[in-house]
Amino acid sequence: MIISITGTPGVGKTTVAKALGKVLGYKVISDFELAKKNKLILGFDKKMKSYIVDDKLFRKIRLKGDFIIHGHLSHLITNDLTIVLRLSPGELEKRLKRRGWKKEKIRENVLAEILDVVYLDAILAKKNKIAKRVVQIDTTGKSIKSVVKRILNIIKGREYKSDYVDWLEKCFEKEEIFI
């Protein structure tokens, strides 16, 4: 089984993927490691401090066996289950600040979280038959252990539904833009 753990940078993908990998005994790999192994790193964007990946060829990678792939591009790899982790924009901003990221990079990523960018991309991947299932989990205020437990329930078919997430509505309610 191939499981993708995706979401905006900082939502907890790597942490959750590693914890889930331990429970399931699956190999855990990041989208970046996968791109590097397949020699698909085209360069480095100095301004945004992020690697540029050959998107077209990356999508053609096929994994065999049991894998958990984590990263905000991981849902572009053919998979059986895509888990989209979500985090309230306020919390996300704090985490990205702790990472020491530049204001511009934080703003871009928090906006992407508010606008459901990765979730919509994962839904598109499902439409294109890259992902068999897509389930969204709101991790705000949830422990890593409880997030892993939910994913295990989803794998076992005990849980199907995605969490309802609408950060924009919350922005309007609180008249707070987070960033």
Residues that bind ligand ADP (CB under 6 A): 7, 9-15, 95, 139, 142-144, 147
Q: Nearer Cβ to ligand ADP, position 45 or 127? A: 45
Distance in Å, CB of 86 to ligand ADP, minimum: 11
Binding site partner of 21, from ligand ADP, Mg ion, none, Cβ cut-off 5-8 A by kind: none
Binding site partner of 142, from Mg ion, ligand ADP, none, Cβ cut-off 5-8 A by kind: ligand ADP
Binding site partner of 89, from ligand ADP, Mg ion, none, Cβ cut-off 5-8 A by kind: none
On the 0-12 / 13-18 / 19+ scale of CB atoms within 10 A, 38 is middle
String of contacts with Mg ion for each residue 12-41, x by CB under 5 A:
-xx---------------------------
Distance in Å, CB of 47 to Mg ion, minimum: 21
Which amino acid, one-letter code, is at 128? N
- C-alpha dihedral sign at 48, 103, 138, 152: positive
The site for Mg ion (CB under 5 A) is made up of: 13-14
